[in-house]
Amino acid sequence: MRHIGAVQVVVTADDFDREPTLAELDAIELESPLILAEVDLLDAQIKAMDHPENDVDTRRIRRAHNRVLAARRDAANRTANEVLPGGAA
């Protein structure tokens, strides 16, 4: 039996085979402080799960939560201050 298959590589690029665009990289860079703050909060919550609750864990989680809120506020203010093309107000 003869194998029937593509002899050449696919000409069109698949969506998963491309590099991120500059706009996508800029969006990731803008969101990275929030992502890092959420990771810190998750780490603090995971550490607190391993043993009974104590004051140090409570403070660690509260500080991490405040960092998440601050990062969300900064991201919201940053996008609110952006000027959209076209001059729409």
Which pLDDT does position 31 carry in this prediction? 92
- In this predicted structure, the answer to whether residue 8 has a pLDDT above a threshold of 90 is no
Predicted confidence (pLDDT) per residue in 28-40, tens digit: 899 999 999 999 9
Tokens found for residue 63: 């500080």
Question: What value does the mean pLDDT take over residues 81-86?
Answer: 63
Q: First vs last Cα of the chain: how many Å apart?
A: 67
Instruction: Give the chain's length.
Output: 89
CA angle 50, 34, 17 (to 5 degrees): 100
The enclosing H or E element of 25 equals helix 22-49
pLDDT at 33: 95
CA distance 24 to 30: 10
Tokens of 58: 């409570």
